Structure 1
Amino acid sequence: MSTRLEFNEVTKKRDQFTLSLPGHAIEKGEILGVIGNNGAGKSTMIQLVLGLIRPTSGNIHRYTDKGAATSMQEWKQTVGFVFDDLSVYDDMHATKLASFLSEVYTGWDDTYFFSLLDQFEVDKKKKVKTFSRGMRMKTGIATALAHHPEMLLLDEPTSGLDTKSRKQMIALLNEENKKRGTTIIFSSHILADMEQLASSIWLMDKGEILAHGLVEKLRENHAVAADGTIHKGKPEEEGSKQAALEDLHDYYLGGDE
């Protein structure tokens, strides 16, 4: 595997909040799920990676299939991203949106874009501002994937979707990862989606990563006792079991969600 992102003593201070990413690397083909209560720093991390805000200290190193990116412009050509808002495209319908983005991304694929909109049952004649939250997210995913990115950055990608659409979205992202080796970083409050998609996770709270690693390794190293208490270590006593992702969330983040 080759590194896609590397955080080197990164901090970001905002008023009383500080995000701290002292030393973490994300590898090619990894699907990283970022879990945290509101205010944990998930969105701030994604904004830092995209260069929308600058670190207070430290450096983020970005890589493409060709090696270290020489500029943000070069790197962003290889990245697709979705926030839970598409307001910048409010007055565009699908054809105009495709025309605009084909001038932004050298690898833009009109055929794939419109096939994704058909798959998601998005009305191509309506302007984005008329869409529901779920339709905005589907359109956002289609725009993020249409230039065949090496990496996807997704902030709550299944938010606002019904159960059928969520399953459809997860299947699509898994397919992109398996067929193209696409690296995916996504935040979500929906643990069931994390279970089906993430190969590794960060559990974040108040700007810090409390636990991180491969999902299966973390589960193997935490157990739920017969009385329901969660602890580090493998299941040993009768009635105890290996921790699920929900148990890891409760252990590190207090089960508030």
Structure 2
Amino acid sequence: MFYQQQRSVKQPLQEAPYLATYDVCTRCCVRTLQYVLDAISRAVSLKPGDIFYDLGCGVDAKIVIAMAQSTARDAQQQQQQQQQQQQHGSCPANASHRLAPVPPACRKAAGAPGGPAPGAAGHPPLQQTSAAAADDRLVAAAADAAACTAPSLPCFVGVELDPTAAAQAAAAAAALPAELAASISIVQRDLLQVPLHDASVVYAYLLPQGLSLLASKLSAEAASGCTLLSYMFKVPGWGHHLQATLPVTSGQLGRPDVSAVSKLYVYRKP
């Protein structure tokens, strides 16, 4: 099935007519959802400590969950690449900022001081190997300590007005692997009542009326640099904050091109 029912509850949505998904039985095309996710991934790059909000996450919180999964995959791939570099003895480009001593191989490659002067007597091979191994262990210990003190994933927050939909979204998030589930929160509340002081990225699919209210809220609350992603509709009064307009379409030969109407507008608060 290409379509999945998002909502079948009417009463709570009447309290927030600015929601773009206010119909009694709104349906979302799975293919279109993937195009939206692709556009979001092109628009922003999330890092540990960032907080991503989906204002109106629906019954299954698909955008929040998919973003968490995608970010986790990227982080895992990056970690594997770093491990491979360490195993092959490669020298990281940013080795100069490490807390532990820089391995001798890196000092030599970078021409940094600390290696034996030309013509000077070197240490016996065993001592050189032991010193290098100790240096490497210190570097690894420092990296492990940094990994333990910093979150490995951004935080993802899905906001949903309807209590039934919010409960189902929370259940969908709880069914994920532990690390992913721990990075996702579902909040049952009117999106205009949710504090956004800590928001790094806010995604919204709202009617212009709702976007105008959201823009006022972000102007008053959000930190400088906060990114607002608006699907389908431009944000009234925020034209000077517009950074990019991305097509939300397949882009593949033979597929319909709906980019003339299906867009993701990227805004950034100065």
Q: TM-score, normalised by structure 1?
A: 0.32
Q: Which has the higher strand share?
A: 1
Of structures 1 and 2, the larger Rg is shown by: 2
Q: Which has the higher helix share?
A: 2
